[in-house]
Chains A and B, each alone.
Chain A
Amino acid sequence: MPNTEYIITLCDGPSCIHKGSRTVKDALEEAIAKHNMQDKVKIHLSGCLGMCSKGPIVIVNPGYTIYGSVTEADAAEIIEQHLINGKYVTRLVVDEDHLYNRFFRIFGDNDFFGKQMRITLRNCGIIDPENIDDYLSLRGYEALAKVLTELTPKDVIDEVKTSGLRGRGGGGFPTGVKWDFTANAPGDERYVICNADEGDPGAFMDRSAIEGDPHTILEGMAIAGYAIGSTKGIVYIRAEYPLAIKRLEKAIEDASKNNLLGDNILGSEFSFDIEIRLGAGAFVCGEETALIHSIEGSRGMPRPRPPYPSVKGLFGKPTLINNVETWANIPVIILDGGKWFSSIGTETSKGTKVFAVAGMVKNTGLVEVPMGTTLRNIVYDIGGGIEGGGKFKAIQTGGPSGGCLPEEYLDTKVDYESLAAVGSIMGSGGMIVIDEHSCMVDVAKFFLEFTQDESCGKCTPCREGTKRMLEILTRITQGKGKPGDIEKLERLGTMAQRSSLCGLGQSAPNPVLSTIKNFRQEYEDHIFNKKCVAGVCGALLTYTIIEKCVGCGACKRVCPTNAISGTRKQLHTIDQDACIKCGQCYDTCKFEAITKA
């Protein structure tokens, strides 16, 4: 990159490939080579850019010139005209001003961003979130103005329905249908709620979205307010997100000053206010009915549905709840059209999805990809592969409610149905890459510890069932597993899935059941062979000092039970009976002379 002057982004989405983008790529490379520009120009393949009808798409940066319907023959012309002569190839230029993909213009970081498609995060990392002017300059609040000028509430709902957008909080319920239900529920008052109670450990999509572009959420909510006949919006956000709260407050204040919230928005008849309510540290409050109880000032415990919040929600009134990411899609859908939106993604899952990629992957961070992108693309192309040179073992999607998928499922597409079909879920978008150094029983235990701790305690299967499951998992990792334990886990797990009151309990067993399904051997190793191949479960390990030992004595000094003996500069040994398997010697040894197995 150092000497690069131009980056050519070539859309590598399915539609463009179909229309011959790969041959365009060859032709571009050929032309670049011909002019000896290999050092100055970099070709980058991107994920679907959402301009399928005009594909193949070639974008030249800097300048963000979009060329459409590029053929093999056009390639040389682009190189010669644009790159060498500095003139646009006018007949190919596509004049499309979509809200997304601006980051190409700003970031040079195409390895990471190239395969992504940023719709919900379109402004994140681009604008100053505390300056409403930045948002306004990028067509901010134009969607709201458009709705107020040109569309009836029904038109708005129809547009959202056309887009095929589904709830990004995990459930995947069609957003337009939800709006429709709420709009048609009897009642004089209605509420619009933004669920920003993001609680998955390791997921921070919503926080980033609010911190990076708070006005988008407000605009989306106001549009919904207009569509369903509500004048009151509430953002329910975790108290643990002080900066996001501050930026939201500022955004609400600025929007109100600019008559983009409040009474008679932009001179119209429509009035809409937004209030912030804080959570207080309860994961279960992400569940709609629990969230409602929390806003009402009560313990955030779910209640049986029906009645659904769209009919009987906050303070007993029809209530529309969508999560942050869902809201962020709304202005785009209004401005670029539901039809366009629905062209992105798969048959049943439209648009993009944001994932918080973490764990043993090189590029940890937030990625937004079109639905239908494979897990492999995310882990290797965007995530840059496994950190530290270990071997890929599993990918955990959907946070503590999700499942662990082994390598053979890496070509699974991310969409609601495909992930569910292989035993995981989309969830809110947590994605943890696990390598061979992690023990799957321990991973399952980690997630279950979380859900068990976050169980509200209302229903028996979740309160008592997850506790017993955790006990069984704990004893397996301690080497005290018994024959029949796996079956017990399966029995309790399926019972809790089918019988729990809310989504938390219904999905809590997923990490356990999916690891049993995909990594049963590891469980059996723990129980029957008393072995933890990943070397994680301390009680199952044996520490041994091998020939590499130089006799420095460091291990001896840290051993809390004096289990290590040996004379200076001589091979030391560990008394296995005295060893409590704390691992301190292993961590201390600088010569890799201690093994654990």
Chain B
Amino acid sequence: MSELITIHINETEYKVEPDQTIMQAADKLGFHIPRLCYHPKLSIEGACRVCIVEVEGMKNYVASCAFPITDGMKLHTNTKGLRRARRDIIELLLDNHPMDCHTCERDGNCELQRLAASVGIRARHFEGEKKHYEKDISFSSIIRDPDKCILCGRCVRMCSEVQKVHNLTQAHRGFKTVVMPAYNMPMSESVCTACGQCINVCPTAAFLEKNYTQELFEKLNDDSIVKVVQFAPSVRAAIGEAFGLEPGVNMEGKLVAAFRKLGFDYVFDTQFSADLTIMEEASEFLERLQGKAAMPMITSCSSAWMKCLEQFYPDLIDNVSTCKSPMSMLGALIKTYFANKIKTDPKKILSVATMCCTAKKYEAARPELDVDGMPGVDIVVTTREIAWMIKSAGIDILNIEEETPDSPLGISSGAGAIFGTTGGVMEAAIRTAYELFTGQTLVDIEIEDLRGLEGIKEGKVLMDGNEIRVAVAHGLGNACDLLDIVRQEPDRYHFIEIMGCPGGCIGGGGQPYAAANSIPLDEDCLKKRAEALYDIDRKKTIRRSLDNPDIQQLYKKFLHSPLSKVSHKLLHTHYQAKTPVGIIPKK
């Protein structure tokens, strides 16, 4: 540890670690300097100028997010001049922003709104011309609304630095700067993977998921159809935050009850089909291990990753598991197995999925995933959308009795639960693959090497003396780094898990917005959400997918065996190279 240095903040002397920015030092000392474009996971932009402070001896204010502290530095965070400048800066942002807070989806969840309130903007002085651009609603997942954009650049940095998709750029310049994909092409025709991380980091409503709540409300009132909903593991781990709870509260039971109160006839659990995915995927892996298809095998549950694969890594298509995602597997079963069971025309079934993910909206619309010419999932809503629906329907989710999902697609193992966090699919797969391969039960089923938020994790499992090398990446940027290794060393790994979002599905693009006292994709928050899933796993008596009795039943009665003909028809899919071709720069 290096020697402490002295700084003065607002006339008080402090001893602090050197080599940090003013903002970092101030944060630790309890001075929260207002900020906007800053995000700890992204490069320093220094653009919004909201976090300015005054440093004695310097003519101009400096951006505290970028400026390093030095020994003896005397700084002020709250002088009259600073307050006024900050206030004016935020007011200038408002002046070029639609005054439609009351009808905005982010009303109450908007960072700009909170910021404006916190600096005390009570009058407007500088109003003038506002920018106006077309809203881009072309894409099934993500809406881009440049009018709401305040050009903090977080989305661009998220898209290029963290996700490495490089779909977004700031185009043009000055007052005419707009965030857009290349050539201002519609999002639907761009390389956007639909991961939705731009939405997560956007302080306003410049990016939003395509909202299906009104449509869903209407359909829920339609008595002529059977309304079925499934919900992803990560939804239960995060939706509490939308109701003011701390991150990491497991809302499974209450959520099931709320679904029923909303009018769903059947509530199924995507964790069930996560178990099913494991059965298929582990079996596929063992086949590949025997040389029947390309190695290493890469998982396929993440829909953003699927689009990324097809655009950026078409050379690796053969390496990716043909398994549909758990959502689409369950969708397929709902329209076949379940429809048959309740003796209903599948066309009369509304299959809804509640997902932590915006890309799942895109996935549901992929024609390759259709079952008998029908989509397996008709509507995908995000955690945020369903939270709003619950509120809108007046359901007091915090105080209702917990309920359990319906049979036969509702029971899940602990392995299905951890699907929602990075490393979870791999861990779940190993639990089953080990037994399928060796015929013995894996005792130590918690694989610590694969847990946590490190970008790329590696692990080894011994199966009958064979060393199986696995790797896990979360966030598309880490995935790209990992796949570049794979391209160079194809034999380095046997099995790779990729999840498109930071932290895995728990950090999905459809999760609740950061609370007022937090930041988007806060690491602590992600860890708590993951912990909620690990806790569900720990509390289950069945923790391996192949032990799930409903899964066993399903195979016995309907699918026969993993990779069977029926399985292939309903549960597997294929990929193909897509344009526009994605380009990942070397550095």
**Do chains A and B make direct contact within the complex (CB under 8 angstroms)?**
yes
Which residues of chain A have a CB within 8 Å of any CB of chain B? Answer: 282, 299, 303-304, 306, 452-461, 463-465, 467-468, 471, 488, 491-492, 495, 497-501, 506
A497 to B48, CA, bound (A): 15
23 pairs, CB–CB < 8 Å, chain A vs chain B = A282-B173, A299-B173, A304-B44, A304-B63, A455-B175, A457-B170, A457-B173, A458-B153, A460-B47, A460-B48, A460-B50, A460-B151, A465-B92, A467-B129, A491-B125, A495-B85, A498-B59, A498-B61, A498-B81, A499-B85, A499-B89, A500-B49, A501-B46
Q: Say whether A492 contacts B88, CB under 8 Å.
A: yes
Chain B residues whose C-beta falls within 8 Å of the C-beta of A488 in the assembled complex: 125-126
A492 to B88, CA, bound (A): 8
Chain B residues whose C-beta falls within 8 Å of the C-beta of A453 in the assembled complex: 174
Q: Say whether A464 contacts B85, CB under 8 Å.
A: no
Q: State the Cβ distance, A372 to closest chain B Cβ, in Å.
A: 24
Q: Say whether B92 contacts A464, CB under 8 Å.
A: yes
Which residue of chain B has its CB nearest to the CB of A505? B49
Q: State the Cβ distance, A424 to closest chain B Cβ, in Å.
A: 16
A204 to B170, CA, bound (A): 31
Counting from the closest, the 4 A-B pairs by CB-CB distance are A304-B46, A457-B177, A304-B66, A464-B92
Q: Say whether A501 contacts B129, CB under 8 Å.
A: no
Q: Say whether A498 contacts B60, CB under 8 Å.
A: yes
A453 to B176, CA, bound (A): 9
Contact (A468, B63) CB under 8 Å given A452-B175, A463-B174, A499-B49: no
Asked whether B555 is an interface residue with its Cβ less than 8 Å from the other chain, the reply is no
Q: State the Cβ distance, A478 to closest chain B Cβ, in Å.
A: 13
Q: Say whether A457 contacts B174, CB under 8 Å.
A: yes
A465 to B85, CA, bound (A): 11
Chain B residues whose C-beta falls within 8 Å of the C-beta of A461 in the assembled complex: 49, 89, 92
A461 to B150, CA, bound (A): 12
Chain A residues whose C-beta falls within 8 Å of the C-beta of B176 in the assembled complex: 457
Q: Say whether B173 contacts A468, CB under 8 Å.
A: no
Q: How many chain B residues touch A (Cβ–Cβ < 8 Å)?
A: 39
Asked whether B370 is an interface residue with its Cβ less than 8 Å from the other chain, the reply is no
Q: Say whether B49 contacts A463, CB under 8 Å.
A: no
Q: Say whether A464 contacts B49, CB under 8 Å.
A: no
Asked whether B197 is an interface residue with its Cβ less than 8 Å from the other chain, the reply is no
Q: State the Cβ distance, B67 to closest chain A Cβ, in Å.
A: 7
Q: Say whether B95 contacts A468, CB under 8 Å.
A: yes
Asked whether B84 is an interface residue with its Cβ less than 8 Å from the other chain, the reply is yes
Asked whether B190 is an interface residue with its Cβ less than 8 Å from the other chain, the reply is no
Q: Say whether B175 contacts A457, CB under 8 Å.
A: yes
CB within 8 Å of A: which of B166-220? 170, 172-177
CB within 8 Å of A: which of B29-86? 44-50, 52, 59-63, 66-68, 81, 84-85
Which residue of chain B has its CB nearest to the CB of A503? B60
Asked whether B445 is an interface residue with its Cβ less than 8 Å from the other chain, the reply is no
Asked whether B96 is an interface residue with its Cβ less than 8 Å from the other chain, the reply is yes
A299 to B95, CA, bound (A): 26
Which residues of chain B have a CB within 8 Å of any CB of chain A? Answer: 44-50, 52, 59-63, 66-68, 81, 84-85, 88-89, 92-93, 95-96, 125-126, 128-129, 150-151, 153, 170, 172-177
Contact (A306, B174) CB under 8 Å given A460-B93, A468-B95: no
Which residue of chain B has its CB nearest to the CB of A300? B173
A83 to B96, CA, bound (A): 74
Q: Say whether B88 contacts A459, CB under 8 Å.
A: no
Which residue of chain B has its CB nearest to the CB of A456? B173
A460, A497, A500: most-surrounded residue (chain B CB, <10 A)? A460
Q: Say whether B92 contacts A460, CB under 8 Å.
A: yes
A282 to B92, CA, bound (A): 24
Interface of B is mostly: loop
Q: State the Cβ distance, A327 to closest chain B Cβ, in Å.
A: 27
Q: State the Cβ distance, B285 to closest chain A Cβ, in Å.
A: 42
Q: State the Cβ distance, A419 to closest chain B Cβ, in Å.
A: 16
Q: Say whether A499 contacts B174, CB under 8 Å.
A: no
A86 to B123, CA, bound (A): 82
Q: State the Cβ distance, B65 to closest chain A Cβ, in Å.
A: 8
Chain B residues whose C-beta falls within 8 Å of the C-beta of A506 in the assembled complex: 60
A461, A495, A497: most-surrounded residue (chain B CB, <10 A)? A495
A282 to B61, CA, bound (A): 25
Which residue of chain A has its CB nearest to the CB of B68? A306
A455 to B84, CA, bound (A): 23
A471 to B130, CA, bound (A): 12
Q: Say whether B96 contacts A304, CB under 8 Å.
A: no
Which residue of chain A has its CB nearest to the CB of B90? A460
Q: State the Cβ distance, A278 to closest chain B Cβ, in Å.
A: 18
Which residue of chain A has its CB nearest to the CB of B54? A498
Interface of A is mostly: helix
Chain B residues whose C-beta falls within 8 Å of the C-beta of A299 in the assembled complex: 170, 173
A463 to B47, CA, bound (A): 10
Q: State the Cβ distance, A553 to closest chain B Cβ, in Å.
A: 42
A495-B84, A500-B49 given; 8 more Cβ-contact pairs under 8 Å: A304-B66, A454-B174, A460-B151, A461-B92, A464-B92, A464-B175, A467-B128, A501-B47
Q: Say whether A467 contacts B175, CB under 8 Å.
A: yes
Contact (A468, B174) CB under 8 Å given A306-B67, A499-B60: no
Chain B residues whose C-beta falls within 8 Å of the C-beta of A456 in the assembled complex: 173-174
A240 to B232, CA, bound (A): 58
Chain A residues whose C-beta falls within 8 Å of the C-beta of B61 in the assembled complex: 498-499
A458, A464, A467, A501: most-surrounded residue (chain B CB, <10 A)? A464
Report which of B47, B84, B85 forms a contact with A459, defined as CB distance below 8 A.
Answer: B47
Q: State the Cβ distance, B181 to closest chain A Cβ, in Å.
A: 16
A405 to B45, CA, bound (A): 36
Q: Say whether B89 contacts A495, CB under 8 Å.
A: yes
Contact (A468, B126) CB under 8 Å given A457-B177, A460-B92: yes
Chain B residues whose C-beta falls within 8 Å of the C-beta of A499 in the assembled complex: 49, 52, 60-61, 85, 89
Q: Say whether B85 contacts A463, CB under 8 Å.
A: no
Which residue of chain A has its CB nearest to the CB of B94? A464
Chain B residues whose C-beta falls within 8 Å of the C-beta of A467 in the assembled complex: 96, 128-129, 175
Chain A residues whose C-beta falls within 8 Å of the C-beta of B59 in the assembled complex: 498
A416 to B340, CA, bound (A): 86
Chain A residues whose C-beta falls within 8 Å of the C-beta of B173 in the assembled complex: 282, 299, 455-457
Q: State the Cβ distance, A83 to closest chain B Cβ, in Å.
A: 56
Report which of A459, A463, A492, A498 forms a contact with B126, defined as CB distance below 8 A.
Answer: A492
Q: Say whether A491 contacts B151, CB under 8 Å.
A: no
A461 to B175, CA, bound (A): 11
A464 to B129, CA, bound (A): 10
Q: Say whether B47 contacts A458, CB under 8 Å.
A: yes
Q: Say whether B92 contacts A468, CB under 8 Å.
A: yes
Q: State the Cβ distance, A507 to closest chain B Cβ, in Å.
A: 11
A491 to B92, CA, bound (A): 12
A282 to B95, CA, bound (A): 26
Chain A residues whose C-beta falls within 8 Å of the C-beta of B44 in the assembled complex: 303-304
Chain A residues whose C-beta falls within 8 Å of the C-beta of B60 in the assembled complex: 497-500, 506
Which residue of chain B has its CB nearest to the CB of A469? B126
Which residue of chain A has its CB nearest to the CB of B96? A464
Chain A residues whose C-beta falls within 8 Å of the C-beta of B84 in the assembled complex: 491, 495
Chain A residues whose C-beta falls within 8 Å of the C-beta of B89 in the assembled complex: 460-461, 465, 495, 499
A457 to B151, CA, bound (A): 8
Which residue of chain A has its CB nearest to the CB of B52? A499
Which residue of chain A has its CB nearest to the CB of B58? A498
Q: State the Cβ distance, B70 to closest chain A Cβ, in Å.
A: 10
Q: Say whether B151 contacts A471, CB under 8 Å.
A: no
A465 to B68, CA, bound (A): 26
Which residue of chain B has its CB nearest to the CB of A465? B92
Chain A residues whose C-beta falls within 8 Å of the C-beta of B47 in the assembled complex: 458-460, 501
A506 to B85, CA, bound (A): 13
A468 to B81, CA, bound (A): 20
Chain A residues whose C-beta falls within 8 Å of the C-beta of B95 in the assembled complex: 464, 468
A380 to B347, CA, bound (A): 90
A495 to B85, CA, bound (A): 6
A457 to B63, CA, bound (A): 17
A464 to B95, CA, bound (A): 8
Which residue of chain B has its CB nearest to the CB of A302? B46
A299 to B177, CA, bound (A): 12
Chain A residues whose C-beta falls within 8 Å of the C-beta of B126 in the assembled complex: 468, 488, 492
Q: Say whether A303 contacts B128, CB under 8 Å.
A: no
